[in-house]
């Protein structure tokens, strides 16, 4: 292993690990955990995710009689995440701007590993520690969804997968993903346009009626991908749209999801020919459910005491995105999301400060 957390992080981001291709980094981390004295095991979640390796679980027996605590992060990165070339400039680590950096979430991995390394080197008394590194988080929290939960002994834990060091996210929204297929009728655009129904026009008209973006302080929705059409001389008979809705309120999530679908259906209903009626095929999938921890929960108070002990400024927040913590909380664990220092994630401008890597492992 590298001498410090910064060098270790640099070594991790150089390993390609886009979603469903986490095997190389997982095998390296397995050996590092064994070196630190862990009992390790892979589950078979990859059989359901289509990846090349499962979630990695590790257990460190405690030196004091206390309840175990879970620490987790995820192996995978978003695209483009292959061939990362990290650059350190004035205490900031970036990529060469042709790829993401991978601080999401290799900063979490590095900080967990090096926190445990320091505990071992200092021979500190500690509760039993469970470590979980998941696969395919970036493509739907799949590793957490298909985790073998019989492995987990802890009742509380931390997912190191957020921005500001010292900040604990204690709530996150539910998310629905929607796929809409708008079915029109094909015709020659120049010779007989009146015999066609333009699916792109239906989509445009419907989108113009939708309340997109931030709906209120708890709710957002977005249409992110649209595809359709074959050529300029053909009336397009199909458009596929992918959308999402998020809310901390189950009722509001259901309402905005139904509203978006209804607008599409009502718009399509206005487009008909003597022998054809436009229609919309709708698929709605629940990605994850909201969670909300109390400021008084043990997992929050424990983080607060740890921050005070190490001199970090502590604060709590409620997030707008999902993480493995949504799935863990749904499965009976109380897991908060801890900041690692990652910034501008999911972009080629992603960066992390070296001081945040150092502080994050505290």
Which one from 18, 32, 105, 137 is the annotated catalytic residue? Answer: 137
- DSSP structural state of residue 329: H
The structure tokens 């445009």 sit at 204
Sign of torsion over alpha carbons 154, 330, 49, 141: negative
Q: Is residue 255 classed as helix, strand or coil in its secondary structure? A: helix
b/e burial code for range 302-314 (CB count within 10 A of at least 16 → b)? ebbeebeeeebee
- Whether 98 and 157 have beta carbons less than 8 Å apart is answered as no
Are 199 and 112 spatial neighbours (Cβ–Cβ below 8 Å)? no
Residue 137 annotated to the active site: yes
Catalytic residue check, 76: yes
State the Cα–Cα distance between residues 105 and 129, nearest whole angstrom: 20
- Spatial neighbors of 302 by CB under 8 A, at least 6 apart, are 69, 156
Catalytic residue among 76, 111, 324, 356: 76
Q: So which residues are the catalytic ones?
A: 76, 137
């Amino acid at each position: 292993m590298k001498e410090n957390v910064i060098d270790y992080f640099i070594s991790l981001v150089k390993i390609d690990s886009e979603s469903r291709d986490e095997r190389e980094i997982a095998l390296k981390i397995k050996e590092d955990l064994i070196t630190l004295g862990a009992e390790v095991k892979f589950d078979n979640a990859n059989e359901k995710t289509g990846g090349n390796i499962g979630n990695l679980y590790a257990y460190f027996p405690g030196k004091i009689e206390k309840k175990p605590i879970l620490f987790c992060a995820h192996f995978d990165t978003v695209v483009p995440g292959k061939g990362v070339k990290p650059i350190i400039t004035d205490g900031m680590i970036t990529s060469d701007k042709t790829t993401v950096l991978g601080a999401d979430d290799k900063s979490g991995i590095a900080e967990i590993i090096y926190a445990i390394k320091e505990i071992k080197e200092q021979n500190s008394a500690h509760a039993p520690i469970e470590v979980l590194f998941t696969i395919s988080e970036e493509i739907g929290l799949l590793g957490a969804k298909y985790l073998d939960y019989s492995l987990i002994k802890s009742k509380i834990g931390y997912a190191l997968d957020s921005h500001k060091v010292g900040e604990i996210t204690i709530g996150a929204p539910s998310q629905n993903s929607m796929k809409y297929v708008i079915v029109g009728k094909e015709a020659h655009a120049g010779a007989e346009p009146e015999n066609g129904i333009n699916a792109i026009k239906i989509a445009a008209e419907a989108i113009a009626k939708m309340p997109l973006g931030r709906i209120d302080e708890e709710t957002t929705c977005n249409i992110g991908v649209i595809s359709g059409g074959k050529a300029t001389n053909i009336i397009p008979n199909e458009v596929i749209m992918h959308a999402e809705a998020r809310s901390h309120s189950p009722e509001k999530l259901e309402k905005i999801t139904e509203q978006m679908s209804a607008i599409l259906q009502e718009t399509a209903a206005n487009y008909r020919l003597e022998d054809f009626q436009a229609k919309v095929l709708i698929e709605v999938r629940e990605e994850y459910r909201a969670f909300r921890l109390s400021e008084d929960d043990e997992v929050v108070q424990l983080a607060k005491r740890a921050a005070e002990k190490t001199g970090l400024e502590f604060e709590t927040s409620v997030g707008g995105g999902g993480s493995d913590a949504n799935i863990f909380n749904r499965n009976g664990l109380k897991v908060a999301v801890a900041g690692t220092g990652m910034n501008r994630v999911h972009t080629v401008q992603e960066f992390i400060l070296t001081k945040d890597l150092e502080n994050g492992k505290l």
